[in-house]
Structure 1
Amino acid sequence: MANQRELDYILPGRAESYWLATIPESNYPALQGDLRVDIAIIGGGIVGLTTAYLLKEAGFSSIAVIEAGHILRGVTGHTTAKVTSQHHLIYDRLISKFGKRQAQQYAESNQAAIEKIASIVASKKINCDFVRKPAYVYAESEDSTNRIQNEVQAARNLGIPAYFEENLPLPFKTYGAVRFNDQAQFHPAKYLSALAEEIHGDGCHIFEKTRALKIKGEEPMTITTDKGSITAHRVIQATHYPIHDKPGLFFQRLHQSRSYVLGVRIRDPFPDGMFINAEKPARSLRSQRTDNGELILVGGEGHRTGEEENEISRYQNLEKWVRANYSVDSIDYRWSTQDTISIDHIPYIGRQTSGNDNIFLATGFKKWGMTTGTVAAMIITDMIAGKLNPWEEVYDPSRFKPVESAKTFVSQAVEATKGLVGDRILPVHKEASDIPPGEGAIVKIEGERVAAYRDQNGTLYALDPSCRHMGCIVSWNNAEKTWDCPCHGSRYNAAGEVIHSPAVYGLPEKKVKK
């Protein structure tokens, strides 16, 4: 529970992603009535838009992308936008747990995704700050040096030109790093806004402010939305966390994790490269050119969604760390993001189930969605076009490796069910009247739990605290002013409206004495 001193802490910077602050908000129409298309894509982030773009390039001319809000405003708009196949220390583990062949598929697919993005940027002349950079994972202690060296060797065994770097141009002590050359970074919102313009028109559609509620049928399928229905022969769930999960394959195989970013101006030049530490808590660093000079993105402080009692402390920790290591002129932006993580830490990409060959999904990107989201678009496009893709096997959603996943599966099942009975969520105020303006809490009123929020004008919002996805008890996020579900990461604003799937319906109001 946050103490008063922490609640009085003034969060640094503007509460907005730099990417979204520097592009105009999109203005695509909402769906009006019913529609028939060949392919429907739910979700307007990197997976949905890249898949629609590649499908249209491949000759498919009847596509609809639907987005509950505005495109790019979800997870994709809150990334640190590293375009890299260096997904922390992954390759030594992949070889050990999955074997060299599948590790090779993972490495080759993500290397290919970098080149796919580069080729699209070049061919369409997209001004999105795309620039090649080396990527580093560095050790903060001698204990991690062997892990770094093992990763270098593993990556080289898979054909990735990896190098051990002894000295890094960082203002704190490191104990070696693995370096991947010729990686990249970009402005994801500029890039994907350009792809959206290529998609919309000539029989293909982007619909905003159109929330998918359910999918039914097999072939064709019908997507029921809050604005009408879309009938399609193939459906792609690009919703970060699938909103349609029948027969319940993924709710114990995925969880969601929040992390935090500060956009910082420092006095000294930032070194060439993208950096992340090997240990926890994570410290991710990269620079971004802006009209006002260089902005440094400092990220980390990840935790399972809905389980942190004081999200404000996460921003505090990042700010303390960056001020301890750099001469800070200003902190201009702050934002948080949410990532879906599978039990074996490899994304699920492909046909959702063996029983229906016409519904596809892509999820579980574990904070590396710029490349793995592009990989997903490439694989799904090939599947729909009837082409064999060489990387399908490692990402197959139907996989389950007992040796690698069984322990994590049991742990995830336990965590996913705790929220059903509210194990973690205890009332933090005895009475709703104790809640100060701008704060929320789970309280008990007449023996029933209530999610209560008091706005700055003193108006109390009283909501049913049971998440509309599977009934877990939500918790209050004091930094973002949201209700977050600890089971599967659904999120609601203070008034109970859905802002993050898998929930598609808001928290209902409860009648209480205010």
Structure 2
Amino acid sequence: MTLDPPSDGSHPDGDRGDPGNRSGPDDRGGPAGAAVMTDGGRPSGRHESLWTATSERTDYGPLDGDIRVDAAVVGGGIAGIATAFELVERGRTVAVVERDRILDWTTGRTTAKVTSLHGLVYDHLIDHFGVERARQYADANQAAVERVADTVDRLDIDCQFGRAPAYTYVESASDRGGVRAEVDAARRFGLPASFVESTELPYEVAGAVRFDDQAYFHPRKYLLALAERVADHDKHADGSGEGGIYEETVVTAVDDGDPCRLGTDRGEVVADDVVLATHFPVSDHALYFSRLSPKRSYVLAARLSGETPDGMYYDPSEPYFSVRPHAESESLVLIGGQNHRTGHADSTTDRYRELERRARERFDIETIEYRWATQDYTSIDSVPFVGPAAPQLDAVYVATGFGGWGMTNGVAAGVVLADLITGRSNPWADVYDPTRFEFGASKSDLVSHNKHAMGHFFDGHVRGRPDLDLSGLSPGEATVADERDDPVAVYRDDDGAVHAVSAVCPHMGCLVAWNDGERSWDCPCHGSRFDIDGNVLDTPAVDGLDSVDLGVSDR
């Protein structure tokens, strides 16, 4: 396996820069970057996730007509695949339904730390959730680390699994007290925590929480192995059997009943139970839009000239800074950070540049090999929502709000949901309960998130916009303007062709904003994203942006 990008800029698997086969570039691929960052130019590195560049691509067929299974899982990320795997291991027939390709989205763009150390979370949980539920969270995530390790060993999965200590560190002496409190909280639950004042990082830290014997892996290689078992379950010698994985199939309706029914653009799925593991629930019966905050962050795969840290590191200050080694290349590290609320960055290209600048300040970097962006949702109280989707639903479940810590929370979610569906008691279900409302833990984020959303909604519809004039729109530029009194989002591609779509997000009517780093239209209210032709890239929007005919291709 090579980690070097092809010299001609092509994808090693052919024309796969846009796995969704859409007409415009997006953050699942897009144009390859220049080798060296230049002022005003494209940021360094190939614009693709390292994980997708170094793993096999999937080609599961779409649904073809109506099927009947025990459980339907909507969404092919880590939570969906982990849940499906747990269910087939218990003898259930499962259909995984994915809009695009499995493991291409957030799971395919993670830094892939498999750790129960999630910033400074345990002291927060004790204060706002109580000791017992904080213990549940600790047990669930530490058990997930070992569950991954056991599964790798049991199924002999070649996924670059390795053990390493994990650190959450601070650089200011004034923050040291919070680190010590976190160590004390983690030790209450038997977690492998210690306080240290020195690390192998090439810069000083004021203090750090260290968790021993944590892990990292290649997320796609691990989960592709699980997905293969899901796809093969309930298949007969002739290939028949209704369980399996169905890609490029869009869910259009979720009907809770006995049995449940999933409407799709390619047929109906009838199932006893349904799991919505779609990053953001495609059917929102419990006002998740008001309880989930969308965020984007950025990752570089950098080759170092000097020594590579053996441990995994996380600075929780805003914006965060993350470092972890790559298992099969001694000189390669993944560096993440520059997080921001979706649709709220003046220039996402500048976020790549700033992350590289900060990385070069701290490490002796030889080259930037890859760069990519990712999106996740954070719950307003910092704990994921895993369990029954809403009180009024009997057999529909949800898994969302992982807040950047989905490698263990996603695995734990699979266990929780499989237990609930098969009638087993689960010791962690209470802390993840989606119907909870912890006022002390969530009041500030609840107000802030919804204030942002409502502010952008009214600002977008009240604030005046210029009339559309394409004469000043250069290749690679985009604008939101009025065309016959309707807001329109217009992008001129590198060849000069104009792409025009409605600027109104079909989720709740907010106006989209241009993302120059991924060349997409992003909704600043609830995080929906669309490509240059209006196709959905990220939910909660289910429908795309309407195409707008400007009558001319240029003016």
TM bin (shorter chain): over 0.9
Q: Name 1:494's counterpart in structure 2.
A: 532
CA distance in 1, matches of 2:536, 2:39: 25
Does residue 1:231 correspond to 2:263, yes or no? Answer: no
SS at match of 2:381: coil
CA distance in 2, matches of 1:272, 1:512: 55
Contact residue 31 and residue 207 of structure 1 kept, 8 A: yes
Find the partner of 1:333 among 370, 385, 403. Answer: 370
Q: Name 2:444's counterpart in structure 1.
A: 407
1:426 Cα deviation after fit: 7.2
Q: Name 1:506's counterpart in structure 2.
A: 544
Question: Structure 1 residues 217-226 or 265-274, which shifts more?
Answer: 217-226
CA distance in 2, matches of 1:102, 1:361: 19
Q: Name 1:38's counterpart in structure 2.
A: 70
Does residue 1:26 correspond to 2:58, yes or no? Answer: yes
Q: Mapping of 1:337-376 within 5 angstroms?
A: 337-376=374-413
Identical residues among aligned pairs (%): 43
1:433 Cα deviation after fit: 2.6
Does residue 1:193 correspond to 2:224, yes or no? Answer: yes
2:103 counterpart letter in structure 1: L
Aligned length: 507
- In structure 2, relative to structure 1, the CA distance for the partners of 1:426 and 1:45 (3 Å cut) is farther
Question: Structure 1 residues 380-389 or 422-431, which shifts more?
Answer: 422-431
Find the partner of 2:159 among 128, 153, 157. Answer: 128
- In structure 2, relative to structure 1, the CA distance for the partners of 1:429 and 1:108 (3 Å cut) is farther
CA distance in 1, matches of 2:401, 2:426: 19
1:57 counterpart letter in structure 2: E
Could you tell me the TM-score, scaled by structure 1's length? 0.95
1:145 counterpart letter in structure 2: R
| C-alpha RMSD of matched pairs (Å) | 1.7
1:428 Cα deviation after fit: 8.1
CA distance in 2, matches of 1:155, 1:428: 54
2:246 counterpart letter in structure 1: F
1:59 counterpart letter in structure 2: G
Q: Mapping of 1:357-506 within 5 angstroms?
A: 357-423=394-460, 427=465, 431-506=469-544
- In structure 2, relative to structure 1, the CA distance for the partners of 1:431 and 1:81 (3 Å cut) is same
CA distance in 2, matches of 1:330, 1:77: 22
Contact residue 426 and residue 442 of structure 1 kept, 8 A: no
1:312 counterpart letter in structure 2: T
CA distance in 2, matches of 1:428, 1:378: 52
1:501 Cα deviation after fit: 1.2
Find the partner of 2:298 among 230, 252, 260. Answer: 260
Q: Name 2:177's counterpart in structure 1.
A: 146
In structure 1, runs of 5+ residues without a counterpart are none
Find the partner of 2:244 among 192, 195, 205. Answer: 205
Find the partner of 1:170 among 183, 201, 206. Answer: 201
Q: Name 1:64's counterpart in structure 2.
A: 95
The Cα offsets for residues 156-181 of structure 1, whole Å up to 9 and x where unpaired, read as 11221210111111111211111000
Contact residue 431 and residue 445 of structure 1 kept, 8 A: no
CA distance in 1, matches of 2:107, 2:380: 22
Does residue 1:312 correspond to 2:349, yes or no? Answer: yes
2:524 counterpart letter in structure 1: P
Find the partner of 1:11 among 43, 60, 71. Answer: 43
SS at match of 1:8: coil
CA distance in 1, matches of 2:308, 2:330: 11
CA distance in 1, matches of 2:205, 2:330: 27
In structure 2, runs of 5+ residues without a counterpart are 1-36, 235-240
Contact residue 214 and residue 224 of structure 1 kept, 8 A: yes
Find the partner of 2:261 among 219, 222, 226. Answer: 222
Contact residue 342 and residue 366 of structure 1 kept, 8 A: yes
SS at match of 2:327: strand
2:209 counterpart letter in structure 1: V
SS at match of 2:301: strand
2:523 counterpart letter in structure 1: C
The Cα offsets for residues 270-295 of structure 1, whole Å up to 9 and x where unpaired, read as 121100113222110001034x6532
CA distance in 2, matches of 1:414, 1:359: 29
1:432 Cα deviation after fit: 2.7
1:72 counterpart letter in structure 2: L
1:298 counterpart letter in structure 2: I
CA distance in 2, matches of 1:375, 1:178: 23
